[in-house]
Amino acid sequence: MRPDDRRYLPSHEWAKLDDETVLVGITDFAVKELSSGNEGDLVYCDMPEVGRLVAQGETFGEIESVKAVADLNCPVAGEIIEINAEIEEHLEVLSQDPWRKGWLIRVKPESTSLDHLLDAEAYEALLEKSEH
């Protein structure tokens, strides 16, 4: 089961409320799909500028592996106030720890409600359906 302290998008991003901000990252499932379990397969992550305003569901960047390019979608509307600079230089962090060290951006959200996103149980059910 994925962590239940955060919410999920069907496109495999997660959002975690952290005081008045929201941390955003991608799930272990997304990392595995992109890298086939080989952390060296992740080759590039295009991160947004700090200060950029994003709408809920808007693409804020992309991540590239040797086999695919995937858009990164923002689960909440707000202002990007921080990016995880370590990810740009060390994509293997995503493979090693997508839940804590592997966060991508910190957003000052227009609303701190994450009720519009999937909870961990609903996200797991979505993954089970996609496997069949």
3 state SS for 64-81: EECCCEEEEECCCCEEEE
We report the CATH number of the domain holding residue 50 as 2.40.50.100
Task: Report whether pLDDT(37) > 80.
Answer: no
Query: 16: which residues sit within 8 A by CB, 6+ positions away?
Result: 3, 5, 6, 7, 22, 23, 25, 103
Q: What is the pTM of this model?
A: 0.94
Per-residue confidence band for 1, with pLDDT thresholds at 50, 70 and 90: confident
Task: Report whether pLDDT(11) > 90.
Answer: yes
* SS3 of residue 24 by DSSP: strand
Residue 2 belongs to some domain of the structure: no
Residue 132 belongs to some domain of the structure: no
Residues 74, 24 contacting (CB under 8 angstroms):
yes
Residue 1 belongs to some domain of the structure: no
CA separation, residue 79 to residues 8, 27, 40, 44, 45 (Å): 19, 22, 31, 23, 19
Task: Report whether pLDDT(118) > 80.
Answer: yes
Residue 49 belongs to some domain of the structure: yes
CA separation, residue 94 to residues 38, 79, 84, 90, 126 (Å): 11, 23, 11, 8, 22
What does the pLDDT read at residue 89?
Answer: 86
Residue 54 belongs to some domain of the structure: yes
Task: Report whether pLDDT(132) > 70.
Answer: no
Residue 101 belongs to some domain of the structure: yes
Percent of the chain with pLDDT over 70: 98
Nearest to 124 by CA among 37, 8, 31, 6: 8
Residues 65, 51 contacting (CB under 8 angstroms):
no
What is the rounded average pLDDT for all residues in the chain? Answer: 93
Domains of the chain: total = 1
Backbone Cα Rg of the chain: 14
